[in-house]
Amino acid sequence: MDTVRIFDTTLRDGEQSPGFSMNREEKLRLARQLEELGVDVIEAGFPVASPGDLAAVRAIAGEIRGTRVAALARAKQQDVDAALRALEPAAKPRVHIFLATSDLHLKHKLRTTRSEALQQISRMVRYACERCEEVEFSAEDASRSDIEFLCDAAETAAAAGARVLNLPDTVGYTTPEEYAEIFRRVRARLAKYPGLIFSAHCHNDLGLAVANSLAAIAAGARQVECTINGIGERAGNASLEEIAVALHVRQSRYAARTNLSLDKIYSTSRLLSAITGISVAPNKAVVGANAFAHEAGIHQDGILKNPLTYEIIVPEKVGVPARTLVLGKHSGRNALRCRFEELGYRTTDAELADCYNIAIAQADEAKHVSDRDLLAIIRRVRQNQATPEGAAESNVAAAR
């Protein structure tokens, strides 16, 4: 089974999104957690952006020893030199150089020609390769680039010494079928360069970042660039946890695995939220509060009989302490009985019927029923059933 390398860019691309800025100590704290999680590459920052960013990358490079540490650079010597300075203490350094390859970016942003862009790629990749053991090249806006020129740019970088080639969907424009075809075309063109690692980097502007990343993996990409909780510019990057769990659950489909310790996903997600003060949405896949929560009675009944009926992975596998059976107006009697037993109360059918009617009525008003509410309900029902009038009411409720 092939291994897909996880390139985490939470500290670089993720941090660039509004509200997610981190100081040096916060970056170090998260970098330590990412190494424990088992990511293959930590993109620690963009050193030329500021002295503070350079210092943070250098601090991470000096402390993280088992995981490769990357620093981003434009295809400019001042950028590459800044990245090299930041990576000096790294045990496993990587310089990550990028240059746009779409005509839109070449004309309106860079104001350069295709020929000049190829020369710049060759010169800067070669310069970095002479000074760093590993160099990655990214063709910014690859998904909107002319495919033949994209192949030219990738081949130029490979010829100059780059061994990791990234074909990013920088603005979240492409679709899975299109993105997979880009990888097939570029890989076919560069088949004469053995040992190349092709990488996917997807943004979520159309909500397709994870789907596009998985399509790239199916088409031969063996590195995927992603972030914890899917944070990133605009609508975010591909979510690390979603990709990792998809590859685990669908191993028969992708025949690929990661080096991640899946049981550390949840704690890593929570650490990022604690550092930034921004929580994930309740319905966020894998790490959201509702990812392993069930309120519908049919679902709850199935989960109690066999968790696989409504869960494709057990919560403990990704570090979530336990699933939650939410008691609300959609809940069923089996879930209510189970929760009472967890609270230390074994109920008769008559008691359960009374408790259920009270709980559902309360949930209609309060949205959910807490454990404190349940304790009050069972005590009230037992007190009522201890009287003749209450017992009669219970018989009517049971008959219903």
pLDDT digits (tens, 9 = 90+) for 60-94: 999 999 999 999 999 999 999 999 999 999 999 99
**Per-domain residue ranges of the chain:** 2-276, 293-399
Q: Which of 140-144, 209-213, 278-282 has the lowest mean pLDDT?
A: 278-282
300-310 burial, b at 16+ Cβ within 10 Å, e below that, comes to: bbbbbeebeeb
Residue 396's pLDDT is 44
Do 231 and 10 form a contact (C-beta atoms < 8 A)? yes
Architecture per CATH, domain 2-276, reads as: Alpha-Beta Barrel (3.20)
Structure tokens at 364: 């209609």
Instruction: Work out the average pLDDT over 188-197.
Output: 97
For 298-323, what is each residue's pLDDT tens digit?
888 898 899 889 899 999 999 998 88
Higher-scoring residue by pLDDT: 333, 85: 85
399 confidence band (pLDDT: 50, 70, 90): very low
Q: What is the pTM of this model?
A: 0.87
Residue 307's pLDDT is 87
For residues 329 and 162, give the distance between their C-alpha atoms in angstroms, rounded to a whole number.
58
Instruction: Please provide the average confidence, as pLDDT, over all residues in the chain.
Output: 93
Say which residues have a Cβ less than 8 Å from residue 105's Cβ, sequence separation at least 6. 140, 141
Structure tokens at 217: 């993996």
Structure tokens at 15: 């941090």
Say yes or no to pLDDT of 395 above 80.
no
Residue 212's pLDDT is 98
Residue 329's pLDDT is 81
Say yes or no to pLDDT of 106 above 70.
yes
For residues 72 and 124, give the distance between their C-alpha atoms in angstroms, rounded to a whole number.
13
For 129-174, what is each residue's pLDDT tens digit?
999 999 999 999 999 999 999 999 999 999 999 999 999 999 999 9
For residues 122 and 153, give the distance between their C-alpha atoms in angstroms, rounded to a whole number.
9
For residues 285 and 226, give the distance between their C-alpha atoms in angstroms, rounded to a whole number.
15
Do 391 and 385 form a contact (C-beta atoms < 8 A)? yes
Say yes or no to pLDDT of 223 above 50.
yes
Say which residues have a Cβ less than 8 Å from residue 357's Cβ, sequence separation at least 6. 397, 400
Residue 182's CB: how many other CB atoms inside 10 A? 25
3-state secondary structure (DSSP) of residue 56: helix
Say yes or no to pLDDT of 400 above 60.
no
Residue 314's pLDDT is 92
Q: Which of 324, 321, 323, 328 is nearest to 373 (CA)?
A: 328
Residue type, 151: C
330 confidence band (pLDDT: 50, 70, 90): confident
User: What φ, ψ does residue 223 adopt, rounded to 5°?
Assistant: -140, 140
